Amino acid sequence: MTSCIPASLAFILVSLSLGQLGDGLNIFQGIYLVGIGWNEGSVGLALSLMGFTALLVQTFAGDLVDKTSMDRRIFLGAASILTACSALTVLLVHEGNTDHMLIFASKVIEGLSSSFIGPCLAALTLSNYGPKDFDMVMASNILWGHIGSVISAVLAGLLGYILYPNIKYCFLVIAFSAIMAVFFVQFIPEGDPLMGRGFHHVEQEEHVDGTNRKELIKSKESEAASYWEVFSDRKTCVLCLTGFFFHFANANVLLVLGELMGGGGNEDGSASRSAIPLIAGAIVTAQTTMSIATIVGDKLNQKGWGRKVLFTFGLVTLPIRCALIILWKDSGNAFLLSTQILDGLGGGFFGLLHPFLVADITFGTGRFNVVMGLTASCFGLGGTLSNLLGQIVVEKFGHVASLLGSLSISFIPLALFGLLMPETYGQRGKRHEDVVEMHYVAMDKGTMA
């Protein structure tokens, strides 16, 4: 069946829909659960279960996306539905400090299903556009994902304000987003499955003369590098550790910010009605800035700016943000809300360059998606520990202590990336070119013999 929607438009619509399934509404869930009787530690544990599940699953999910003979679009559609259904279980929670197991189980399912979304979308992008156009199209996907997050936050905030105090109905936005994603994903072409896992397609090779040489290159090109080779690569290790510490410092900050702006607005500890648009505004501010950062980062990338300088700029925004929130904690919501601009800049550059770096490191190894999964697992572990430990610190010692912890940790990823990560711009496919050159030399020697 011929698609009535161009592939480029299909990727935009799917990315827009998936953006509305993102983590942005977790802060609404956290505020809602605190308002009906949950303590901060229980909320942190619930969000952490999602992260721990993703931690355990994402690497295997990426490996499965690499190796599967099934259509990757099926995985993407199924993951979207399961993510939405698990997120909607908050509608079944009753008043009081109850129903913990229901939410805990839903977060495990959400962590499992969401682990497939990133690798599937990246694999479909690579399979359709190849390594040369991957950056441009992936940047577009990320941009429209941020725009989707903005739309979902605005709609959720509007519904929460109108239907207050029944703010749980704002999560219906997630269900509608999943339906959109499943509908539009069918219009994305399947592409070249081998290209989607980080192999060059043999027909794209130029200056290949002779049937024997062509068949040899094709055979060798379909052999993936060992897991140890890609997992032990210095650049892979540095990226994993950098992302872990960045998210360990960063993830809890938005929850703390939401609590400072409105988590205890009413006498019973629930969010006041006026806090709902503020919380939505925090998400919208960050996601809008992420959209702008993605556009700017893509333009600078096309002009040849290195990965290292752009990624470092994203990392340095975090300690500044933590310090400003501590400094302005009593200065009013407008000051606190403005710090989300830094969150948007940091998250925008980090999210844009993550798949670029992985593609630089792995293209030609056949392990693109498994390394996407591995790095995402490390990032998820950092975010999970941040939510869990950060909320426990809030409960025991207060918001400032939690923010001081994030501020201290935020210098670690700066040091790791700045000192240990080499520049990877222009290195994509280097391994593939070396392998093909070795085949040429071997072939020539065999001919001479």
The predicted-structure confidence for 34-58, as pLDDT tens digits, reads as follows 777 777 677 777 877 877 888 888 8
Share of the chain above pLDDT 90, in %: 14
Mean pLDDT score, 237-248? 94
Highest mean pLDDT among 19-33, 97-111, 220-234: 97-111
Res 217: pLDDT: 43
Asked which of 245-249, 255-259, 306-310, 381-385 is least confident by mean pLDDT, the reply is: 255-259
Mean pLDDT score, 71-79? 89
For 306-343, give the DSSP string. Answer: -HHHHHHHHHHHHHHHHHHHHHTTTS-HHHHHHTHHHH
For 163-213, give the DSSP string. Answer: HTT-GGGGGHHHHHHHHHHHHHHTTS----HHHHTT---GGG--S--SHHH
| 376 has pLDDT over 80 | yes
Highest mean pLDDT among 9-13, 56-60, 208-212, 286-290: 9-13
CA pair distance 241, 252, nearest whole angstrom: 18
Mean pLDDT score, 184-199? 83
Mean pLDDT score, 66-72? 83
Mean pLDDT score, 376-387? 85
The predicted-structure confidence for 148-186, as pLDDT tens digits, reads as follows 888 887 887 787 777 776 677 777 888 888 888 888 988
Length, in residues, of the chain: 449
Res 410: pLDDT: 92
Instruction: Tokens 């977060």: give the residue.
Output: 107
In terms of Cα–Cα distance, which of 49, 57, 53 is closest to 75? 57
| 209 has pLDDT over 80 | no
Res 333: pLDDT: 78
Q: Which one is predicted more confidently, 28 or 350?
A: 350
Res 176: pLDDT: 83
pLDDT band at 3 (very low <50, low <70, confident <90, very high): low
Neighbours of 303 (CB within 10 A): 7
Res 204: pLDDT: 41
Mean pLDDT score, 329-352? 86
Q: Kindly report the CATH number that applies to the domain delimited by 7-448.
A: 1.20.1250.20
| 213 has pLDDT over 70 | no
Residues 6+ apart with CB under 8 A from 323: 407
| 387 has pLDDT over 70 | yes
CA pair distance 17, 257, nearest whole angstrom: 26
Res 96: pLDDT: 65
Mean pLDDT score, 284-299? 86
pLDDT band at 208 (very low <50, low <70, confident <90, very high): very low
CA pair distance 391, 400, nearest whole angstrom: 12
Res 27: pLDDT: 67
Res 212: pLDDT: 46
- Show me where the domains of the chain are located: 7-448
Q: Which one is predicted more confidently, 438 or 118?
A: 118
Average pLDDT value over all residues in the chain: 79
